[in-house]
Amino acid sequence: MSLFEVQTHLLEDDGTIPNSVLPLLVYPGIVDVGAGNSAEAFENLFQGNGWDRSWRNGIFAYRHYHSTAHEVLGIARGTAKVEFGGPRGV
């Protein structure tokens, strides 16, 4: 049994953004962003799962996709409005 709610979204190819056959997974509250250095907590979580090549920065302001890789994203501070799957996604 998971301690965290996992939201799943299947994002279909819309003719512009190909998307993946694998679902988008959202883990709200997986890191307590109010407790200490949440950016470092995300980096430790990612590295602990073998997700290397981390970087800290903002979110791109333009649509893009990764045709050969998956991406993990953690919001450590502030707020963000992020579009996944193109304009018909979530």
pLDDT of residue 35: 73
Mean pLDDT of 44-53: 90
If you ran DSSP here, which 8-state letter would residue 78 be given? S
pTM, rounded to two decimals = 0.79
Q: Which residue has the higher pLDDT, 69 or 84?
A: 84
> Can you read off the two tokens belonging to residue 41?
């907590």
pLDDT of residue 46: 92
Task: Say yes or no to pLDDT of 56 above 70.
Answer: yes
pLDDT of residue 53: 82
Mean pLDDT of 9-17: 89
SS (H, E, C) 47-74: HHCCCCCCCCCCCCCCCCCCCCCCCCCC
